[in-house]
A and B are shown apart, each in its own frame.
Chain A
């Protein structure tokens, strides 16, 4: 990345640090090459995959294999694979753009994502030289295809509760694995599976298993609600013989791999969510422009406009946040030596540093998609319920996103949990900040922000951070160790922190663009930001109130609510008017524009 002074931010640091517009990476920073890579991906998906979607939805997986090999020829499977193993070692923005553009392919994007992400990355990050040499070149071309097998019938979010066993044979040459792995993407055709099992019943360990090893088979194809273009089966291991050299990473430390891979899976799902939301929005606008009722296009109705504008503003905030996270990876990787970069573990460590951001992006990005898909069906009316219309499939395909790679509930829990851990370890001065804040609010006078561009939004953002800190600090004080039992409060904290990350990303992105080209060129960005910040702030206020009421009572509650009132006092933006303005541009351009 750039050679200018770049601050490296700690994961979760945005909650207490002041971040400048120039500190973050935004979509406006994409280079010509990034755009060319995105274009090739888009052209490939539109030209080759989309015409085959009916076949793919019908489980004709020979097309999946063929398409993946074609993608491999174009380099679309090698972005995250090091050059010495036949990959392209592209930056994370490039691989993210590939993910975003693949989202147009519906369930096939899950096939692609599982192969390049959770299937190949464990070997990229944690494989030894022999394993990398053996598997990565053929995975990067698509000659061999990969899958990832963690979930079991009895263990989903509780991954370490897996029952699959591994036992060294007497000769000491092979591990013998027994168990069942459930809902394995790509299992109809994958050649290589990354599988977790417990050696001697307790040492949770990852293995690379080839399809043709003795004792490896798959069950029947699952009948799913959505993403039907992807293959999902059970992987059955019956005395499966796995050579000892196929242990991935260290024995007993499979959880390190599992958690790191989840982080990657999470931010990539968020990118896919943003991509699909843009598609749902585009379909919605075009339909609303064409569909006439009462002799007028339904896009001329303010209520349809409100839906279009809400989806667009939310898309903008999430797009800003998720590419900011990708930018954080890039900025950190800029500090690594070439040697470090070759070591997958160093890259995985960087991604792990931003586990909070990954979880937030996952939660908000997938919920954005559910919202966009739902409104798209609604705008299509009865037609949206019919399978001839793409939005019907988008609606069904969307639903799994809130469930896999850690349910959104689990991901929400991760956010305050990780923040607390970082505070305890002294990595983030959260507790100090919270204490200082408690003193500050006693004497604080409400401010009235000025009228300059984004001044109000910047002010609301600053106060939102204080409100989140107030709620989190109070809860930590009140419940201490037992806070983990207060899941409703934890979720409120996660939601406040997530809203802040999205708000701030939108504000900073818009500021950065305006600093560069002036305000006139970025009216749409400005409107999105004003709408999102106002609505997010309202939600934060409500989460904070609920949290305070649950944690406090009597006089101290009244005092806390008084502090909250001071922090939330402002003259709100007229979002109805702003949304009409947003919609006018969308209706004219017939797609998501910034």
Chain B
């Protein structure tokens, strides 16, 4: 099987988000593989171990994304590709990423592409489905189980807490949800092997793309933090008085009724 994983480098879940001059400050921030993409890497390795083939991990990002690719290689992926847009692009959106990936996959014979359900930073959940659309292959999101038998694929997906069972076929793109698997720790021998595994670096030029081709379709107008959580309120008095007060507060203060 020719297996691909779409991977994004994101802030560590422990990072505190600080906004400075309207931008998220990334000075000294720690980065990780987007946790949902980690499920994708793990599942890709399991599929390869079961069915043979090769796992290639692809990321669109900057030079520094190499670290997360190396981690995926240390987990057991075979090859990795960094599509480095650092010099070409100031900014981009999901359209940009999908356009670049579409060009990348133009000459690839992918049997299955695995991506995370969402990235924990911008959480759009769009790149996977939109790429499937461009590549004209089926897309199943938020999967929690996958069985491949020849061309046939049986999938369980999480639908707001319920399970939906789906039959489909390769080639296919799936996005991975928590519960699919327990990602492994990169082992020390894996880490040592990873430095000898291929890490290919591409730029827009190599994909015959111009900056205009991938220009973003959306505009970020403002970046702001959620309002600080205020202290809770404890209502006092008899139950019926409390209920009355609660309803009135929900109407007047919270304005949800």
Contact = CB atoms under 8 A, between A and B. Distances in A.
Contact of B188 (A32, A43, A90): A90
Contacts of B71: 36, 39
B70 A32 contact: yes
B139 interface: no
A594 to B, nearest CB: 11
Nearest to B18: A588
Summarize B's interface: helix, strand, loop or mixed.
helix
B189 A40 contact: no
B185 A74 contact: yes
Nearest to B67: A32
A94 B186 CA distance: 15
Contacts of B155: none
A237 interface: no
Interface string A51-94: 00000000000000000000001111011000000001010001
A37 interface: yes
Q: Which 4 A-B pairs have the closest CB atoms?
A: A75-B188, A74-B187, A36-B191, A40-B185
Interface of A: 32-33, 36-37, 39-40, 43-44, 47, 73-76, 78-79, 88, 90, 94
B17 interface: no
B34 to A, nearest CB: 16
B31 to A, nearest CB: 11
Contact of A44 (B74, B185, B191, B194): B185
Interface of B: 67, 70-71, 74, 185-189, 191-192, 194-195
B42 to A, nearest CB: 14
A122 B188 CA distance: 23
A74 B188 contact: yes
A94 B191 CA distance: 12
Contacts of A40: 185-188, 191
Contacts, number: 39
Contacts of A73: 187
Contacts of A44: 185
B70 A76 contact: no
A75 B189 contact: yes
A43 B185 contact: yes
Interface centre among B191, B192, B194, by most A CB within 10 Å?
B191
A88 B70 CA distance: 19
B57 to A, nearest CB: 15
Given A37-B191, A43-B185, 11 more contacts: A33-B195, A36-B186, A36-B194, A40-B187, A40-B191, A44-B185, A74-B187, A75-B188, A75-B189, A78-B188, A94-B188
A36 B74 CA distance: 9
Contacts of A36: 70-71, 74, 186, 191, 194
Contacts of B188: 37, 40, 74-76, 78-79, 88, 90, 94
A73 B194 CA distance: 17
A78 B187 CA distance: 11
Nearest to B188: A75
Nearest to A70: B185
Contacts of B195: 33
A40 B75 CA distance: 10
Nearest to A42: B185
B192 A33 contact: yes
A36 B194 CA distance: 11
Nearest to A78: B188
Nearest to A79: B188
A370 to B, nearest CB: 28
A539 to B, nearest CB: 33
Interface centre among A36, A37, A43, by most B CB within 10 Å?
A36
A90 B189 CA distance: 10
Contacts of B70: 32, 36
B182 to A, nearest CB: 9
A32 B188 CA distance: 13
A96 to B, nearest CB: 14
A583 to B, nearest CB: 18
A47 B67 CA distance: 21
Contacts of A88: 188-189, 192
A456 B187 CA distance: 46
A74 B185 CA distance: 8
27 contacts: A32-B70, A33-B191, A33-B192, A36-B70, A36-B71, A36-B186, A36-B191, A37-B188, A37-B191, A39-B71, A40-B185, A40-B186, A40-B187, A40-B188, A40-B191, A44-B185, A47-B185, A73-B187, A74-B185, A74-B187, A74-B188, A75-B187, A78-B188, A88-B189, A88-B192, A90-B192, A94-B188
A475 to B, nearest CB: 47
Contacts of B74: 36
